[in-house]
Amino acid sequence: MNAKEGCIGAGRVIHEGRVKAAFESGVFVLNLSGDVRLPLCATLDYQAQQLARTPGLKAVMIDLRDATNVDSTALGFLAKVAMALKGKLEQPPTIVADNPDVKRMLEVMGFATYFTMVEQPIAEVAELEDLMQLPADEEGLRQRILEAHRILMDINEHNRQQFQPLVEMLEQQAQAPESAPVQEQEKTGKEKTSHH
């Protein structure tokens, strides 16, 4: 197994994150699996923008049952999905999560404000298609980290206190000609979430 496929951590295999989707009878399903991190955020951002313009959309379900980890940047773009759909659906989007760690993280970060949280979906979707991972350059990644954490800060006071230093650092670096590598910034954000 190479590093790209996954790594051993905490006694289990952590697989690289993947995003799958299905659109059936007005219901859009987004399935996240493995270790969902920064490289998938361009794809999540694109989905958030597309969903807001999807005709015939009645419901949205985000399935996190196969996710071993969802980092703070990815969480910010899941929140963006809900915000993009505000007022467009009869019911809030649903998040399906049965991993206790993932559920607690969503709870602490205030996701129940924007999503209906369940452990099992009402119905399983038969056919999910892999979504292509969209490329993003260094500056694009930096902007997405910044946007995601600003979104999280707007959800509740806990997030504001948690991510304010990271956001301020990113804003300063955006104005500076010599900026630190994006992966280092993302690591800083992840370290902040790992304490909770």
The CATH number linked to 84 is 3.30.750.24
Q: Answer yes or no: is 88 within a domain.
A: yes
Question: Residue 44: inside a domain, yes or no?
Answer: yes
Which of left, alpha, beta for 84 (phi over 0: left; psi -120 to 50: alpha)?
alpha
In the chain, how many domains are there?
Answer: 1
Residue 178: per-residue pLDDT? 56
**55 occurs within a structural domain:** yes
Condensed to tens digits (0 to 9), the pLDDT of residues 9-21 reads 333 444 688 999 9
Residue 67 lies in a domain: yes
**pLDDT tens sequence across 45-104:** 998 889 988 999 999 999 999 999 999 999 999 999 999 998 899 999 999 999 999 999
Residue 66 domain flag = yes
> How far is it, in rounded angstroms, from Cα 22 to Cα 30?
7
CA dist 89 and 60 (Å) reads 9
On whether residue 90 sits in a domain, the answer given is yes
In a domain, 168, yes or no: no
Q: Which domain does 65 fall in, by range?
A: 18-135
Residue 175's contacts (CB-CB under 8 Å, 6 or more residues apart) are none
